[in-house]
């Protein structure tokens, strides 16, 4: 695989919006399962990603698909691709 093709591969993740208080920025929590190396118990691990949402279309509780991009600010390296499922409205 040459360098040109390896740079064009974009990483995508699926997570839930946990905060929509910032303008054009969402905090998305991505949860994954992993097995403990010694005890073999399955553990839930969570990561927070700051996501660029140009139209402010996602809300707290929405399940979204995000894609890795170039750095937009100090913490934003992801952009919103699609809203998979809308969250519960209170």
d(CA 50, CA 28): 6
pLDDT grade, residue 38 (50/70/90)?
A: very high
Half-sphere exposure of 54 (CA within 13 A, CB side): 5
pLDDT at 1 over 60: no
For the domain made up of 3-85, give the CATH fold: OB fold (Dihydrolipoamide Acetyltransferase, E2P) (2.40.50)
pLDDT at 90 over 90: no
d(CA 26, CA 33): 23
Entry pTM? 0.85
* pLDDT value of residue 26: 97
Spatial CB neighbours of 75, under 8 Å, sequence gap ≥ 6: 50
* pLDDT value of residue 7: 67
Domain boundaries, the chain: 3-85
């Amino acid at each position: 695989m040459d360098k040109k093709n390896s740079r064009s591969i974009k990483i995508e993740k699926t997570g839930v919006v946990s905060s929509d208080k910032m303008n054009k920025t969402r905090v998305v929590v991505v949860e994954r399962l992993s097995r403990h190396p010694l005890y073999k118990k399955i553990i839930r691990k969570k990561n927070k990603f700051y996501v660029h949402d140009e139209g402010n279309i996602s809300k707290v509780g929405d399940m979204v698909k995000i894609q890795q991009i170039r750095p937009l600010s100090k913490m934003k390296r992801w952009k919103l691709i699609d809203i998979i499922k809308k969250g519960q409205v209170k």
